[in-house]
Amino acid sequence: MMMRISELKKAIVILGSTGSIGRNTLEIIRHHPDKFKILALTAGKNTALLSEQIKEFHPLMVAVEAEKEAEKLRREFSRYGVKVLSGGNGLETVASLKQADLVVSAITGIAGLRPTYVALEQGIDVALANKESMVVAGSFLKKIAARTGARIIPVDSEHSGVFQCLNGRKKRSISRIFLTASGGPFLKIPIKELAEKSLADALQHPRWKMGKKITIDSATLMNKGLELIEARWLFDLKPSELQVIIHPQSIVHALVEFKDGSILAQLSQTDMRIPIQYALSYPERLSSPLPALDLTSVQNLEFYPVDEKRYPLFNLARRVLEAQPSFSVVLNAANEIAVEAFLEEKISFGQIYSVVDHCLQEHRVVRLSCLEDVFILDEEVRNQARQYLKLKGKEK
Ligand code: MG
| Ligand 1 center to 385 CA (angstroms) | 25
Of 171-175, 260-264, 348-352, least confident by mean pLDDT is 171-175
| Ligand 1 center to 69 CA (angstroms) | 32
Alpha carbon distance 26, 35 (integer Å): 12
| Ligand 1 center to 78 CA (angstroms) | 38
Q: Over the chain, what is the mean pLDDT? A: 95
| Ligand 1 center to 60 CA (angstroms) | 31
| Ligand 1 center to 226 CA (angstroms) | 9
| Ligand 1 center to 155 CA (angstroms) | 8
Predicted confidence (pLDDT) per residue in 329-387, tens digit: 999 999 999 999 999 999 999 999 999 999 999 999 999 999 999 999 999 999 999 99
As beta bridge partners, residue 257 has 176, 263
| Ligand 1 center to 305 CA (angstroms) | 18
| Ligand 1 center to 157 CA (angstroms) | 5
CATH of the domain at 128: 3.40.50.720
Write down the pLDDT at residue 383: 98
* Amino acid identity, position 83: K
Sign of torsion over alpha carbons 300, 306, 307, 310: positive
Write down the pLDDT at residue 171: 84
For the cut 70, the answer to whether the pLDDT of residue 1 exceeds it is no
Q: What is the mean pLDDT of residues 203-213?
A: 86
| Ligand 1 center to 280 CA (angstroms) | 17
| Ligand 1 center to 214 CA (angstroms) | 9
Which residue range is the domain that position 115 belongs to? 5-155
Write down the pLDDT at residue 3: 53
10 is a domain residue = yes
Q: What is the mean pLDDT of residues 4-21?
A: 87
| Ligand 1 center to 269 CA (angstroms) | 13
Specify the pTM.
0.94
Write down the pLDDT at residue 392: 85
Alpha carbon distance 391, 275 (integer Å): 42
For the cut 70, the answer to whether the pLDDT of residue 287 exceeds it is yes
* Dihedral of the alpha carbons of 110, 114, 117, 123, in degrees to the nearest 10: -140
Q: Please, which residues have CB less than 5 A from ligand 1, an ion?
A: 156-158
For the cut 80, the answer to whether the pLDDT of residue 5 exceeds it is no
56 is a domain residue = yes
**381 contact partners, CB below 8 Å, separation of at least 6:** 329, 330, 333, 334, 359, 363
| Ligand 1 center to 140 CA (angstroms) | 22
Q: What is the mean pLDDT of residues 221-225?
A: 97
Q: How confident is the model at residue 2 (pLDDT cuts 50, 70, 90)?
A: low
| Ligand 1 center to 85 CA (angstroms) | 31
As beta bridge partners, residue 42 has 15, 63
Smallest CA-to-CA distance from 220 within 345, 393, 383, 338 is with 338
For residues 314 and 229, the answer to whether their CB atoms sit within 8 Å is no
| Ligand 1 center to 128 CA (angstroms) | 11
| Ligand 1 center to 376 CA (angstroms) | 27
| Ligand 1 center to 268 CA (angstroms) | 13
Alpha carbon distance 366, 26 (integer Å): 40
| Ligand 1 center to 79 CA (angstroms) | 40
By DSSP bridging, strand 152-154 and strand 102-105 are: unpaired
Q: How confident is the model at residue 278 (pLDDT cuts 50, 70, 90)?
A: very high
DSSP alpha helix (H) spans, 32-101: 47-57, 67-77, 87-95
Write down the pLDDT at residue 396: 59
| Ligand 1 center to 274 CA (angstroms) | 12
Identify whether 283 is preceded by a cis peptide bond (ω within 30 of 0). Answer: yes
Domain count, the chain: 1
Please state the separation of Cα 228 from the chain's center in Å. Answer: 12
| Ligand 1 center to 105 CA (angstroms) | 14
121 is a domain residue = yes
| Ligand 1 center to 90 CA (angstroms) | 28
Of 122-126, 192-196, 334-338, least confident by mean pLDDT is 192-196
Write down the pLDDT at residue 4: 55
81 is a domain residue = yes
145 is a domain residue = yes
What is the percentage of the chain residues whose pLDDT exceeds 70? 98
| Ligand 1 center to 223 CA (angstroms) | 7
79 is a domain residue = yes
Burial of 293: CB neighbours in 10 Å, binned 0-12, 13-18, 19+: middle
| Ligand 1 center to 112 CA (angstroms) | 17
As beta bridge partners, residue 83 has 61
For the cut 60, the answer to whether the pLDDT of residue 107 exceeds it is yes
22 is a domain residue = yes
| Ligand 1 center to 156 CA (angstroms) | 5
Q: How far apart are the first and last CA of the chain?
A: 75
For residues 137 and 371, the answer to whether their CB atoms sit within 8 Å is yes
CA angle centred on 140, ends 39 and 328, rounded to 5°: 110
Q: How confident is the model at residue 206 (pLDDT cuts 50, 70, 90)?
A: confident
Q: What is the mean pLDDT of residues 113-128?
A: 98
| Ligand 1 center to 137 CA (angstroms) | 18
For the cut 60, the answer to whether the pLDDT of residue 150 exceeds it is yes
- Which residue did the predictor score with more confidence, 208 or 114? 114
| Ligand 1 center to 70 CA (angstroms) | 32
Predicted confidence (pLDDT) per residue in 24-66, tens digit: 999 999 999 999 999 999 999 999 999 999 999 999 999 999 9
